[in-house]
Amino acid sequence: MVAYSCAKVGVDARTRHIAASRYRGNAIQPGMVTTDNAWAMAESLPLDQILSRTPAPRLGKPEDSGALALFLLSDAVAFMNGQILSYDGGIHAVLNDVGAA
């Protein structure tokens, strides 16, 4: 988990660097997305607890992230720059810093 967390912080820093360099750069910070890899890890994760704490009534799907990526590439948000968007069904809105509700 340390390497994963460090990689996420690196993406956040790189996104801000791109934006500060006068290029358009935003990032998507997805929550639990139901991919084959996520299902493989599901045995070691308390998915029922994660879902019970998520304000959305379901976990994410790959097409959810794809739709957000298309939106960020559109002219509709041409002025948005340097943002890291949590796309997680609201889980970050209800969890504290240590991950407990």
Sign of the Cα torsion 74, 77, 83, 89 reads negative
**55 domain-assigned:** yes
**99 domain-assigned:** no
CATH code, domain carrying 35: 3.40.50.720
Domain that holds residue 20: 2-94
**100 domain-assigned:** no
Q: What is the pLDDT of residue 42?
A: 67
pTM recorded for the entire structure: 0.74
Active-site entry in 1, 2, 3, 4: 4
Is 4 designated active site?
A: yes
pLDDT of 98 strictly over 60? no
Q: Give the chain's mean pLDDT.
A: 85
Per the structure, the count of domains in the chain is 1
**101 domain-assigned:** no
**78 domain-assigned:** yes
Instruction: Convert the pLDDT of each residue in 37-75 to its tens digit.
Output: 777 776 777 777 777 878 888 888 899 989 999 999 999
pLDDT category of residue 13 using cuts at 50, 70 and 90: very high
Residues paired with residue 33 on neighbouring β-strands, in sequence order: 60
